[in-house]
């Protein structure tokens, strides 16, 4: 049974969207209080924990995921599933990376929003990879029709 890239890219976009939504959910527990990634960015900025290029990179990275999902949705709606999948690939790395930092830090506890975001970021990446693999196998069949019979 062949699966077209349409349902796969829809699943990838759905998972990517939920991963982005999770950015406003509780991510870490600091001093007994659950805090979202927005809270952490605001606190780090106010306390001058992040400075210079690191601050720019962290803030830019936080805005990358929503922008990537938005552009991927536009591309998928216009039928460019491969391009949409390529844009969704970094979402998993970005959000799973934040999740790993939370697990490795000693004084920070992981809240449910971080787990939610990490799981859906990973799913978005897996489905995006499936879209690209489906596209590659379809191109191979078009190039060599005798092997598909």
Q: Is the residue at 134 inside a domain?
A: yes
**Among 34, 26, 133, 121, which Cα is nearest to 81's?**
133
| pLDDT top residue among 118 and 83 | 83
pLDDT digits (tens, 9 = 90+) for 36-86: 877 877 877 787 777 788 778 777 777 788 888 999 999 999 989 999 999
Give 33's strand partners.
Answer: 30
- 13 in a structural domain: yes
Task: Kindly state the tokens that stand for 91.
Answer: 């979402």
pLDDT digits (tens, 9 = 90+) for 84-114: 999 998 887 777 676 676 666 656 667 788 7
135 belongs to a structural domain: yes
Residue 148 lies in a domain: no
**How many domains would you assign to the chain?**
1
Residue 73 resides in a domain: yes
User: 122 lies in a domain?
Assistant: yes
The C-alpha atoms of residue 149 and residue 141 are separated, in whole angstroms, by: 9
CA distance 92 to 125: 5
pLDDT value, residue 56:
80
CA 64 to the chain's CA centroid: 9
pLDDT at residue 26 in the model: 83
Host domain of residue 47: 5-139
Nearest-angstrom CA–CA distance, 86 and 149 = 30
């Amino acid at each position: 049974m062949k699966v077209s890239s349409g349902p796969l890219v829809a699943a990838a976009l759905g998972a990517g969207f939920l991963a982005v939504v999770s950015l406003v959910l509780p991510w870490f527990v600091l001093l007994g209080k659950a805090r979202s990634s927005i809270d952490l960015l605001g606190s780090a900025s106010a306390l001058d924990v992040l400075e210079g290029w690191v601050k720019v990179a962290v803030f830019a990275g936080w805005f990358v995921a929503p922008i990537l999902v938005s552009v991927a949705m536009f591309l998928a709606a216009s039928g460019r599933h491969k391009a949409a999948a390529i844009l969704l690939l970094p979402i998993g790395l970005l959000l799973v990376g934040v999740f790993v930092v939370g697990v490795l830090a000693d004084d920070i506890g992981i809240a449910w929003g971080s787990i939610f975001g990490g799981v859906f970021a990973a799913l978005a990446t897996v489905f995006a990879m499936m879209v690209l693999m489906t596209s590659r196998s379809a191109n191979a069949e078009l190039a060599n029709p005798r092997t598909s019979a």
